[in-house]
Amino acid sequence: MKQKIKFINKDKTQFFNTLKERVDQYFIDNKISQHANGKMVFKTIVMLSLYFVPYILIMTMGYSHLVMWLLSLVMGLGLAGIGMSVMHDANHGAYSSSQFINKMVAMSLTLVGGDNKNWRTQHNILHHTYTNISGHDRDIDDKVIMRFSPHGKYWKIQRLQVIYVFLFYSIMSLYWTTAKDFVQYFEFIKQGHNRENTAGKLKTLFTIIFWKLVYYTYIFVLPITILHLSFGQVFIGFLSLHLLAGLILSVVFQLAHVVENTTFPMPDAKGNIENEWAIHQLQTTADFAKNNPVITYYVGGLNYQAIHHLFPRVCHVHYPEIAPIVEQTAKEFGVPYLYNESFWKAFASHIRIISRLGKNDTTFFAIANSMG
């Protein structure tokens, strides 16, 4: 059984209470909902079309193998876009005040090969609650021979991880679609995250299996049957779209949490993190490229990751307006607000920290441990 984590607001700071009041007042003053607006609905259509329109063209237009492969890459862009800009908000309950609408929009993840229940457990509960806490935030736990936290196990081969890490990033979506949902299903039961009765657990498992069959039917069975393509030809397109989507999704996430100046605190012997939860979020999360409208649009506001962690139930289309409120309030309370001005500065920072982790940099250890 894992250690239970508790955040202790030892300084009795009113940072988050003040911030929440100001953000709530923003929506009141502007007479707008914190959920999706017309722009978000249109964006949803765009991202879904980016994935499904190329698929329809592949199935109906009789293109050459080269064109079908290029369309598969467009599907990869669409898959990443759905993950960042559509299902993400819905699974956080940020898309709509209606649980039914959130559930329907969240089905976009199911249609592209994922499982919502597993995703919500890993992301909403474990990652958002225990951000950058090794052993609790699965997103920064050791993966194969990759090390994302100074508290992770060190292997000499990791000196090369700055080279091979992007190969593993690219298979993230592929792994999730094929095996991860099943692996997590059993892990979450063992760890107590799934507390359903036996019938509920079986229903969850059968639901995963059913939608995987639906996904693999339209991805593999239909193209092979209708277009008379070989398995190898279809697999090349399938692999290409997932490698591209996985690389995009992994990099965008890493630029928010595994960059310089973000911290990796560890609890004390009693499981306490002596920090207010909201301040912990700002110390472990960084924004990037806020002034780049193209990036902001495509990544679903995840370049405003700190804002998202503080207000996950607010639709991402509102993040640019909320960010100055967060930044100003953080400044008033002496709380860090981490930010890289561009995508490339954030990327370079990620490369440096991955390299330092791979070299088992003792200076980095000292900094990280001092924040624990």
Over the stretch 237-269, which tens digit does the pLDDT of each residue have?
999 999 999 999 999 999 999 999 999 998 888
Above 60 in pLDDT, residue 282? Answer: yes
Examine residue 149 and state whether it is found in any structural domain, yes or no.
Answer: yes
Which of the two residues, 185 and 87, has the higher pLDDT score?
87
Above 90 in pLDDT, residue 135? Answer: no
Name the least confident of 205-209, 266-270, 358-362.
358-362
Examine residue 98 and state whether it is found in any structural domain, yes or no.
Answer: yes
Question: Do the Cβ atoms of 196 and 204 come closer than 8 Å?
Answer: yes
Above 70 in pLDDT, residue 2? Answer: no
Above 60 in pLDDT, residue 367? Answer: no
What pLDDT does 213 receive? 97
Q: For 163-184, what is the mean pLDDT? A: 93
**For residue 359, which phi and psi values (nearest 5 degrees)?**
-95, 0
Examine residue 1 and state whether it is found in any structural domain, yes or no.
Answer: no
What pLDDT does 274 receive? 87
Closest CA to 131 of 14, 24, 248, 275: 275
Encode 7-21: b = buried (16+ Cβ within 10 Å), e = exposed.
beeeeebebbeebee
What pLDDT does 362 receive? 63
Above 80 in pLDDT, residue 370? Answer: no
Q: For 305-318, what is the mean pLDDT? A: 96
Above 80 in pLDDT, residue 1? Answer: no
What pLDDT does 366 receive? 55
Domain that holds residue 237: 6-370
pLDDT class for 224, splitting at 50, 70, 90?
very high
Q: For 292-296, what is the mean pLDDT? A: 96
Which of the two residues, 62 and 356, has the higher pLDDT score?
356
Name the least confident of 59-63, 105-109, 128-132, 140-144.
140-144
pLDDT class for 371, splitting at 50, 70, 90?
very low
Examine residue 180 and state whether it is found in any structural domain, yes or no.
Answer: yes
Examine residue 116 and state whether it is found in any structural domain, yes or no.
Answer: yes
Above 90 in pLDDT, residue 369? Answer: no
pTM of the model: 0.92
Task: From residue 322, give the alpha-carbon distance in Å to each of 85, 158, 245, 329.
Answer: 18, 39, 28, 11
What pLDDT does 62 receive? 83
Which of the two residues, 9 and 346, has the higher pLDDT score?
346
What pLDDT does 40 receive? 97
Examine residue 227 and state whether it is found in any structural domain, yes or no.
Answer: yes
Question: What total of structural domains would you count in the chain?
Answer: 1
Which of the two residues, 8 and 370, has the higher pLDDT score?
8
Which of the two residues, 372 and 103, has the higher pLDDT score?
103
Above 90 in pLDDT, residue 11? Answer: no
Closest CA to 281 of 323, 310, 252, 315: 310
Question: Do the Cβ atoms of 321 and 26 come closer than 8 Å?
Answer: yes
pLDDT class for 364, splitting at 50, 70, 90?
low
Examine residue 65 and state whether it is found in any structural domain, yes or no.
Answer: yes
Above 90 in pLDDT, residue 166? Answer: yes
Q: For 125-153, what is the mean pLDDT? A: 89
Examine residue 273 and state whether it is found in any structural domain, yes or no.
Answer: yes
For 55, residues 6+ apart whose C-beta sits below 8 A from its C-beta are 71, 75, 218
Task: From residue 335, give the alpha-carbon distance in Å to each of 7, 15, 282, 328, 346.
Answer: 16, 8, 8, 10, 20
pLDDT class for 372, splitting at 50, 70, 90?
very low
